[in-house]
Amino acid sequence: MPKVIEVIYENGVFKPLENVDLKDKAKLKIAIIKDRKDVVKLYRGILGKAKVEELKEFEEEALM
């Protein structure tokens, strides 16, 4: 069953920020999803002045 958890990436290792119930050396697949705030900060001002709707659309495209 899929579960979403927050992790921090340090020195080449993903470290969970909460307890996970896994066996030692369990092999997993992960999806890397940036925090929306980080994406918004990254592109802040790139479009100059824009409408809220345009920014929301741009944010959604950036998260894909």
Q: What is the pTM of this model?
A: 0.49
- Mapped onto helix, strand or coil, the DSSP state of residue 8 is strand
Parse the chain into domains and list their residue ranges. Answer: 7-63
Q: Residue 63 phi/psi, 5° resolution? A: -80, -10
Averaged pLDDT score across all residues of the chain: 83
Of 21, 63, 20, the residue nearest 43 (C-alpha): 63
pLDDT for the residue 48? 73
Is residue 6 pLDDT above 80, yes or no? yes
pLDDT tens-place string over residues 21-43? 999 999 999 888 777 777 677 76
């119930």: which residue's tokens? 21
Q: Radius of gyration of the chain from Cα atoms?
A: 16
